[in-house]
Amino acid sequence: MNTIKRAKKVKTVFLSQGLILKIRLLPWIHTKDGYIWLASMAVGKSIRQINDWMNKRKNGRVRQLNTSLTGKFGVKPQAIAMRQVRKWIEELPDGDAICLRCESAKANKQFDIWQKWFRKNEDSSWIISEEHMSFYYYKNKV
């Protein structure tokens, strides 16, 4: 049986104003057809702050990320992150899926912004789940 290895993928981009954008794609749930990958992104002032946020550590740096950086940089990080997610979609094996979940400090606001983005800029094959505040893309088997 031929097994496909699925390792996490990470991309770090240094933005203006000393901010750092980290985009991550992790194999999340194994299904009978493949894997569901969890895509996430964070913007912060340091790699340590972003790693604390992504690893769910609760401390002063994470609280600062929750409040002080929300919405100050516009859609540029979002555009960069989605460009990277599109590249990763091409690399995914058939039968795998990607999930983007809204887990910020202001998840409802984040979901509204991402929902507008997906309706305007992304392929119609993305499924928007208002119930789970998530976005899903399934790569069909050929």
- Give the pLDDT confidence of 88-123 residue by residue, as tens digits: 999 988 889 999 888 777 888 888 988 998 888 888
Measure the N-to-C terminal CA separation of the chain; round to a whole number of Å: 19
Least Cα distance to 98 among 47, 32, 28 occurs for 28
Q: What residue segments make up the domains of the chain, in order of their start?
A: 9-138
* pLDDT score recorded for residue 56: 67
Nearest to 18 by CA among 49, 46, 60, 48: 46
What is the pLDDT at residue 67? 40
The pLDDT confidence band at residue 66, using thresholds 50, 70 and 90, is very low
Mean pLDDT across 22-38: 89
Tell me the pTM.
0.78
CB 126 within 8 A of CB 136: yes
Give CA–CA dist 30/10, Å, rounded. Answer: 20
Percentage of the chain lying above the pLDDT 90 cut:
25
Tell me: pLDDT of 4 over 70.
no
